[in-house]
Amino acid sequence: MISFNKNYRSFLVNCFVVMFTVLALGINAQGAEKIEEGIEYKLLPMPQPVDMKNKVEVIEFFWYGCPHCFDFEPELSAWVKHQGKDVVFRRIPVAFRDDFMPHSQLFYTLESLGKGDALNAKVMYAIHKENKRLLTESEIADWAVTQGIDRNTFLAAYRSFAVVSKARVAKQLTEAYRIDGVPTIVIQGRYVTSPSMAASKARVIAVMDFLVEKVRKDKYK
C-alpha cells in the first residue's frame, strides 16, 4: 500500500513536469514566432527620407473616420508611450477623397493650437460613438467650441495658409508612401506594416517592436 502511494505520487509529479514543459515550450514557440518580410511587413519600393538622424521614425497614416484607426488607437498610444527617446512618432492624416480633406485640416488645426495630443482621440470618439461626421467647417467649428476652443481662434487656424498647405502635403505624402489603406504604420521611411497585414493588433505591435530594433541594429538606416 505504501509502495503504491509513492509510485502514484511519483506518477503525478512526472505528469505535471511534462505538462508544464509542454506549456512552456508552446509559449516560447509562440513568442519566438518568426516575423517575415512580405507577410507581416513589406518594404517600400522607393524609401522615403527621414527627418532626423540617429532616430527611429514611426509614422501612422490614419483617417479620423476610419473605424479600424479608432479601434487601434488605444494600443498604438500605449505603444508610443513606452518607446525610448530615439523613437520619433508622428501621424499623417489621409484623405482618399477630396470631401475628407476637412478631417486633415482639423488634424493640423488642432496641432497648430497645441491641442492635438489632447483632442485627437476625442475627435474619433465624436465620429464613431456620437455619430458626428465633422466634414463641414461649421460642424467642425461647433465641435471645437464644445472642447473649450474659441470659435474665431479655431476658424482662423483652420483657414490659415499653413494648415491648408499641410493638409495638401499630407495628401502628397499619402501618394509618395503608396498608402492604400489605414491604419498603416511606416518605420524609417521604408518598412510598412498594419494590423491587417499582421492579422491582429497584438501581432502588429510585435512587428513594430521588431522593426524598431532592426533599425537600431542597422544604425538607424
- pLDDT tens, N- to C-terminus, the chain (221 residues): 333 344 434 433 444 433 443 334 343 434 458 999 999 999 999 999 998 999 999 999 999 999 999 999 999 999 999 999 999 999 999 999 999 999 999 999 999 999 999 999 999 999 999 999 999 999 999 999 999 999 999 999 999 999 999 999 999 999 999 999 999 999 999 999 999 999 999 999 999 999 999 999 999 99
pLDDT score recorded for residue 32 = 53
CA angle, 71 as apex, 185 and 30 as ends, to 5°?
Answer: 70
Q: Which residue has the cell 473649450?
A: 148
pLDDT score recorded for residue 28 = 40
Rg, the chain, Cα only: 24
Alpha-carbon separation of residue 41 from 7, 129, 211 (angstroms):
53, 31, 9
pLDDT score recorded for residue 13 = 40
Same domain as 4, residue 110: no
Same domain as 52, residue 12: no
pTM for the complete prediction? 0.85
Name the β-bridge partners of 37.
41
> Count of domains in the chain?
2
Same domain as 10, residue 119: no
Structural domain range at position 5: 1-33
Same domain as 184, residue 92: yes
Whole-number Å distance between alpha carbons of 137 and 101: 11
Residue type, 199: A
Same domain as 90, residue 70: yes
